[in-house]
A = this chain, B = another copy of it.
């Protein structure tokens, strides 16, 4: 059996996936509570959130089961969901939308895969890449391009902020030097850092995108208008070079894989065709549930009253626990500034520190975290960036407070041991 080039690339389990499988295997065999998981990518199972979605499913089954589940449907998305998206974003932001501006996919992961396959790769005139302008960024972006070498990530510039904080800045000059951009792809607030692209940075990205005539795939998985896990919400921008991408995953429904993209029809139409050719359409019951969540205002209510306050509290808690628990004599720093998302991103700026060594040591102590390297996909780093990408780790704010506290205590012990062994 021979795999094709795309098969060879896509059959490759990314670094993060091996880690996640290691964690899943370990957790499965463990007695309840003995292992602590701070690697979680799932949103917290907040009872009010779970209960609301459950009610929306019951109502949707009553309203449209036979039509949704027992018939094929349009590849763009169900008429009800597309109409709900048009109405929601027109009403909330005044965007000039028609159904032609919308495509629904089986999750935003799939939409980023589709955009990457449509806008990048071997071309008639020249080959282009999926470019990540805001490293470190979501590890799933490793999965989306079809050919080896099809991605390039721009290393960030680092600003130290006081004793225990730091911030990344986009290296726009490095991005401008890229001559093979087919698609700009980023999450904001970012997984893993929580960093939000500023309006000024977005202006600069748009100038580059317009100059190259390529789309920016802007992944709002944690941002506005839902689930709005962000300190200072910015409305998504309407621009002919932006594909704005939204999902209900982090608002509580990750298992159903519903995401949608809103943008200029010249970008959206080929994506609709790709969805039609590759999967026909996304699952329709969950589409109808999403339409109902948008149209009834329940998604906005969950966002404002439950999800946003929950993560704001968890973020403050995480910051306090890090300060209280991590060793005072280790030079660790938390990414901060305009922030959001479900994670804390910690940089340990010590020559003896290695993210994979911490992962292993922490695992021995019964706590899982995510090492930083896999978030630096396709990194093109300038001289002097050094070993920064191997000196970070991510912990999840979805974990319960006792798990977070004990988990950080074990991580602190692991850090101390690593330092003492150096």
Contacts and interface: CB of A to CB of B under 8 A. Distances in A.
Interface of A: 1-8, 10-14, 17, 24, 41-43, 45, 49-50, 53-54, 57-58, 61, 65-66, 68-74, 106-107, 109-110, 113, 117-125, 127-128, 140, 142-144, 146, 182, 213-215, 249, 252-257, 266-267, 269-270, 273-274, 276-286
Contact of A66 (B4, B50, B106, B281): B50
Contacts of A57: 61, 65, 69, 285
B110 A276 contact: no
A7 B278 contact: no
A264 to B, nearest CB: 9
A204 B257 CA distance: 40
11 contacts: A4-B182, A50-B65, A70-B254, A70-B255, A106-B257, A109-B280, A140-B277, A142-B277, A143-B277, A144-B278, A257-B279
Nearest to A73: B255
B6 A121 contact: yes
Contacts of A269: 11
Nearest to A64: B255
A15 to B, nearest CB: 12
Nearest to A145: B277
Contact of A254 (B12, B72, B276): B72
A285 B256 contact: yes
B255 A68 contact: yes
Given A257-B283, A278-B143, A117 B7 contact: yes
Nearest to A253: B69
Nearest to A109: B280
B285 A285 contact: yes
Nearest to A127: B4
A254 B50 contact: no
Contacts of A270: 3, 7, 10-11
Contacts of A279: 106-107, 109-110, 113, 257, 279
Contacts of A142: 277
A254 B71 contact: yes
B254 A283 contact: no
A285 B3 contact: no
Given A50-B65, A282-B283, A285-B286, 12 more contacts: A1-B214, A3-B119, A4-B127, A11-B274, A13-B273, A45-B71, A70-B255, A110-B278, A110-B279, A113-B277, A257-B280, A283-B286
Given A6-B121, A61-B58, A69 B42 contact: no
A249 B281 CA distance: 13
Contact of A54 (B61, B120, B125, B146): B61
User: Which residue, of A182, A255, A282, A286, has the highest number of chain B Cβ atoms within 10 A?
Assistant: A255
A47 to B, nearest CB: 9
A69 to B, nearest CB: 4
A228 to B, nearest CB: 18
A252 B43 CA distance: 32
Contacts of A249: 72
Contacts of A285: 57, 255-256, 285-286
A71 B255 contact: yes
A68 B68 CA distance: 19
A12 B267 CA distance: 13
Contacts of A49: 70
Contacts of A50: 65-66, 70
Given A1-B213, A122-B4, A117 B143 contact: no
Contacts of A66: 45, 50, 54
